[in-house]
Structure 1
Amino acid sequence: MTRNHKKYHKPFLMTKQQIKKLIFFRILLNCIINMKFKNIVTFCFILNCLLLQYFTKNQDSGKPSTLEDTINTSYKSSSSWFNLQFNSSYQEISENIVNENNYCRKVKNYQSIQDISLNKQKLPTEDHRYIFSDYPDHSLVHQTFSVIARPILHQKSSKTTLDPKINLFFQVNPLWHELHKMETHFLCEGQRYNHIPGSINLNFKDEIANSFRKYKEYYKGREKCFEPWKATPYTLDLSAKEQCLEFVESIKNGKRNEWMYKKARYSHNGDSVAIVSDAVANELINYYEKESPCPDNEKFIAQKYISNPLLLNGRKFDFRVFMFIISMDPLMILYRDGTLRITLEKYRKDSTNFENYLTNSHIADLYLSSVNLTENEYEEKMKDRNINFSKFEEIMKNERKVPDNWINDSFRYSIKRTMLHMVRMNLDKLLSHPRVFEFFGLDFMLDDDLNAWFIELNLSPQIGTTSKEKNKIYMKIIQDILDIEYAILYKADLDEVINKTAFQWVYDGRKTGLDRYHGLLTEECL
């Protein structure tokens, strides 16, 4: 098997308990090593600030009532914030953008003299929606911005400075904040940014698997509240010795086609995905026992293969749905339907051909390009790959597999519940900054018992298709994202704005008690 990898940067992460013990000494050491401070006055000032943050404790002496309450909501005393300040590669010029240390002062001066025109919903009109974005001008995202906002396109070919009138940053790069310093080079008061520092960990299959494994311990004895390996297929991180050995022993003992083998990070379009057939198993056994004994120093996972997938006309399919964290402080999470994505060829359990069991568009395009089709035939084949949830429910009801309202009462409930738990289990990795948000694409599958299985999460999911009908849907999604974020920024009626979209609540941190969870958690499961 080909094992090509890109280098990755693994963020430094600590739990809240570790913060109290280690953060002062770590930052102090960073300062000394990197010679951040040029004189003793500055050094003493920073030392004093660190000591205050180290010894200041939450005055609430009561026992936290929920997992959310255990997370320190003061983002400037979190490990994620300190990591950004001292470990990110800020340069004077990044991506041909001049990082100005006085940029936020320019923003404040501009806002003090500029009146913003608001509509009846108290949202800024399109003439005052200044969006800085690196999405290319041919993308649906940029085309939508051009209609409903005033996009400021990032031209990487020439050096530039950021315009102080920008009120929203919408970047493809999920690590843009590691090149440009938050609250200094961008993301000043009156601005919002579409990536949450730390969210990259949700995109890594090994990190997600280990989060599920750790979360299982959190619910030990309360499995009826949430059982991770009933929400996502059992997964082994092959960079962990015990898990790697477990995988090798399993495939040595003949349990081979029960597994999928995947690259854990920076993998797209079916890259380095394989069903563990006999040939693949023999190669892996040789690799992990002889060439590179466990653990794997590269990033791969092994995941149990769902061997009884629900089929549509004999073809395998999955669901692309969307999770939208509209705010981290207070935490607010929304869900939205996506589409079903169907394979081009009928499913064969013993097949290792991608077109039989993978649903992504890149695989479909490669396959159709290899056969002799007219342009119209190609478009029809691609169009047949996607259907909406209503059409799917209609098919299922006609086949008498589900009752009325099954999508809303059962399927959506299960998906939203998994989303909620995924955010909860990763709260310690996400920066609780009040002006950041993130839009995720999540993939789920159904087995023939109608159990919903989470497969993977995507940052900056592809928005746009070759279908004009679906492009209209995606343009509406983009418009809704902007309306929601501008509603938060300009303190409009957020609930009224959300009610006019197809988004649904998962979690609302503005509320108290069980009302926050919208029926997804009971008191015994907090």
Structure 2
Amino acid sequence: MDQRSKRYFIIVLALLSIWSFSVLIAVSTLPSESSPSFRVEAIPFHGENSFSYPHPEPNSYCDDWKLSSQKTVWVDRRNAYSATKIESFGWDMLQSKKSGNALQFASISKPEYHNTRWAKIFLQSDQENNEALFLIPKNANFIFTRMYHYKNALSDNIQTARLGVDYACPGQILNHIPGASAFCRKDFLQRYLLDYNKRLQKEGLSHCFRGYLTPKSYILGEPDHCNAFIDELEAQLNNYNSSNMPIEWITKSSLRHKGYGIELIDYKRAQYYYNLYRKNEEEDLNCNRVLDAHKSLIAQKYISNPALIEGRKFDFRVFAMVINSDPLVALWAPENGHTRLSDQEFDKLSTNFTTHITANVANQNPDSVDFLKKYRFNLREIANYYKDQLKDHEKWLTDVAFPQVKQILIHMLRATQQNFLIKRIGFLEFYGIDFILDDTLQNIYLLESNRRPDVQEKNPDLQYREDMLLQDFSAVAEYFLKTGVSSINTEEIYKKLKAFKPLVDETRFDPYFGLLSEECRVTFKEFNEDLPIDPMIEPLKYYVGNFNAKAKV
């Protein structure tokens, strides 16, 4: 064999070796019921430090998924009101697959991402679990899920379906933005706001943000916050006794919504927390050793001078939607929210839970249901209710209510923008955001944010308002479908909306529509690894390599 022939032989042999190795790798990544492993890829950062998608394995759902022009939608809860409305807007509702291969934890009682196995799953009627995300049909262009992750009894995230591999393929429209709902956890929100304030101060822009959006809050899992809260309780206990101590603080669970997990700090509860965590190194517990059950709690200043409707405390909900993460495009619906009243007339000395709490958990008294339905006011109707006190209620809307609510929403989104980790056209997120107004009618505070809020109105006569929100949501999804999920023209989208109005549009020269001065428009999108992340991102840390890949790529 001459030299030239030897060279060709070596090249062919090398190519055959590479091909054989590739085949071996492809075969080894095919799901099987006995295989305990899964393919792992690094998470490269790109652009503004966002996560990329993992690469779909051969024969996985996203490996050969293709976008079509059909208005096809898959929902995980077909009987949910929002799902039936989406279908009424012309979307073809698809049936789930009857069975499929899915990643499961080897132990549900102790879910560990590094310990999973492939298993055959079968559809069960109206089953709500993470396995449903493996049963999405191939012709689904729009995925509309009630939840994008599920939790066990310990509140651990037990999602096993992998974003961008097993569902939500590039080009597939999804009603969630990974990372964009982390602020729906109350303790996370407080951490983001503290970080946001520090970043502005570092830039010499502290005047751009008043330093708070919510009532004064402490994270009990943070020793310095816990100690500050104990100091507040000590002052109260020194000034009041069990018969005259007003409710000045409440605790909230960061993991629960709708009023669940809220506790009034009366004299007895104040003594409990003070005795448990007072600064005493000889005690078994102090703020450096907080009970596990308290680590997800925040203590929040109680608004003891709330505005009242018919003598009852109320909060009000505003709906918002993010339709693109970067450039950020967000909307709000000024006319489509509602108030929620407490069951009892307000008394700041009362320790009756239903006197102070306005969320649905409190509305258990059948005699009050009809009364409460009458007062489902949007912001304009709140202004009209107070028109004698306000004198010019239209001016109050334009000069006080609308600007304050919009500024709170803008700062909330800006403070958490670094957490919008996967940036892709076609991801949408819908929120219900709760506020409280004090009795001066001049101060509005953020209470909490809720992803995928309930849109079945308690007053049937007002259901049309929330139906408009879903219609707009559908219209945005249809716009992306018609454009091939490849570009975003905000002016074209705005023409299609009935309820939502522009709030943030980073495709414009003035992204905040005059609500922030030019110097205050600086954005903070760089990823801060010291801050917590949305639970939807959590599986990526395990399924797609090292979470700290930024330092290694």
TM-score, normalised with respect to structure 1: 0.73
Tell whether 2:230 aligns with 1:245: no
SS in 2 for 1:524: helix
Counterpart residue type for residue 228 of structure 1 = G
Aligned twin of 2:81 = 140
Q: 1:279 aligns with which of 250, 259, 268?
A: 268
Which protein has the bigger helix share?
1
Out of 374, 390, 408, the position equivalent to 1:400 is 390
- SS of the residue corresponding to residue 208 of structure 2 reads coil
Q: What's the counterpart of residue 72 of structure 2?
A: 130
> Is the 1:261–1:303 Cα contact (8 Å) retained in structure 2?
yes
User: C-alpha displacement at 1:201, in angstroms?
Assistant: 2.1
Do residues 383 (structure 1) and 382 (structure 2) align? no
- 2 CA distance for matches of 1:401 and 1:218? 40
Matched-pair contact (CA < 8 Å) for 1:233–1:455: yes
Read off the aligned partner of 2:361 and give its amino acid letter: H
C-alpha separation between the residues in 2 aligned to 1:242 and 1:504? 40
Q: Does 1:455 align with 2:447?
A: yes
2:421 pairs with 1:431: yes
Q: Is the 8 A contact 1:134 1:153 kept in 2?
A: no
In the alignment, structure 1 residue 361 sits paired with structure 2 residue 356: no
Runs of 5+ consecutive residues of structure 2 not aligned to the other structure: 1-24, 30-38, 99-122, 126-131, 151-157, 238-244, 522-553
CA apart distance, 1:37: 13
Answer with 391-400 or 477-486: which moved more. Answer: 391-400
Give 1:258 deviation, angstroms.
6.0
What do residues 195-244 of structure 1 show as CA deviations (whole Å, max 9, x unaligned)?
22223421111111121122222233534321122x21111100011111
Which of 165, 173, 177 aligns to 2:139? It is 165
Q: How much does 1:275 deviate? A: 2.4
Contact 2:78 2:84 in 1 (8 A): no
What are the equivalent positions in structure 2 for 1:482-493 lying under 5 Å apart? 482-491=474-483
After superposition, what is the alpha-carbon deviation per residue over 1:361-384, rounded to whole angstroms, capped at 9, x for unaligned?
Answer: 2311x2x14xxx4xxxx5522312
Q: What is aligned with 2:345?
A: 346
Give me the whole-angstrom Cα distance separating, in 2, the residues matched to 1:251 and 1:301.
14
CA distance in 1, matches of 2:392, 2:194: 32
Higher relative contact order (CA 8 A, sep 6+): 2
Taking the aligned partners of 1:431 and 1:394, their CA distance within structure 2 comes to 41
Tell me by how many angstroms 1:467 deviates. Answer: 2.2
Return the letter of the residue paired with 1:517. Answer: Y
| Cross-structure match for 1:288 | 277
Could you tell me how far 1:480 is from its partner in structure 2? 0.8
**Which residue of the partner structure matches residue 317 of structure 1?**
314
1:382-421, Cα deviation, whole Å (9 max, x unpaired): 3124122222211222333554332233212111111111
Please state whether the residue corresponding to 1:322 is helix, strand or coil. strand
Q: Deviations over 1:161-218 (max 9, x none)?
A: 4222211111111337943222221222431111222234211111111211222222
Counterpart Cα distance in 1 of 2:284 and 2:261 = 19
1:291 Cα deviation (Å)?
6.1
2:317–2:435 contact (8 Å) kept in structure 1 = yes
* Cα distance, 1:466–1:136 mapped onto 2, change above 3 Å: farther
> Aligned AA for 1:498?
Y
1: CA distance between counterparts of 2:308 and 2:436?
A: 10
Distance 1:466 1:444, change over 3 A: closer
Alpha-carbon separation, structure 2, partners of 1:288 and 1:100: 54
Deviations 1:74-112 (A, max 9, x none): 542xxxx6xxx59xxx9xxxxxxxx9943224422xx4x
Match of 2:399 among 400, 403, 409: 409
Match status 1:301 vs 2:298 = yes
1:123 counterpart residue number: none
Out of 175, 185, 207, which is 1:224 matched to? Answer: 207
Question: Compared with structure 1, are the counterparts of its residues 398 and 240 closer, same or farther at alpha carbon in structure 2 (3 Å cutoff)?
Answer: same
CA 200–262 in structure 1, closer or farther in 2 if over 3 Å, else same: farther
Structure 1 residues 279 and 174, CA, compared in 2 at 3 Å: closer, same or farther?
same
Q: Which of 40, 44, 62 in structure 2 is aligned with 1:104?
A: 62
Measured at CA, do residues 348 and 183 of structure 1 come closer, stay the same or move farther in structure 2, by a change above 3 Å?
Answer: same
Q: Could you report, residue by residue, the CA deviation over 1:269-300 in whole angstroms, capped at 9, with x for unpaired residues? A: 32231222111101112232456421423311
Query: Aligned with 1:190: secondary structure?
Result: coil
1:522 to 517, 520, 540: 517
Taking the TM superposition and a 5 Å limit, the aligned residue runs for 1:6-21 are: none
Q: Is the alpha carbon distance of 1:141 and 1:38 closer, same or farther for their aligned partners in structure 2, counting shifts above 3 Å?
A: closer
Superimposed CA distance per residue, residues 476-514 of structure 1 (whole angstroms, 9 cap, x where no aligned partner): 2111101012213423864344233221111112223xx
Tell me the secondary structure at the aligned position of residue 468 of structure 2. Answer: helix
> For each residue in 1:17-36, what CA deviation from the matched residue of structure 2 results, as whole angstroms up to 9, or x when unmatched?
xxxxxxxxxxxxxxxxxx99
Alignment CA distance shift 1:418-1:523 (3 Å): same
Q: In the aligned structure 2, how far is the partner of 1:405 from the partner of 1:171?
A: 40
Alpha carbons 1:344, 1:385 under 8 Å: kept: no
Check conservation: 1:239, 1:300, Cα contact below 8 A: yes
In structure 1, runs of 5+ residues without a counterpart are: 1-34, 40-44, 59-70, 91-98, 117-127
For the residues of structure 2 that align with 1:329 and 1:224, how far apart are their CA atoms?
25
TM-aligned CA deviation for residue 257 of structure 1: 4.4
Cα distance in 1, alignment partners of residues 249 and 459 from structure 2: 31
**TM-score normalised per structure 2:** 0.69
Question: Does 1:203 pair with 2:184?
Answer: yes
- Residues paired across the two proteins, number: 422
Larger radius of gyration: 2
1:469 matched residue in structure 2: 461
The alignment yields a C-alpha RMSD, in angstroms, of 3.2
Change (3 A) 1:184 1:261: same
Aligned residue identity for 2:178? P
* Secondary structure in 1 matching 2:287: coil
Quickly say closer, same or farther: Cα 1:164–1:303, change in 2 above 3 A. same
**Match for residue 494 of structure 2 among 481, 493, 498:** 498
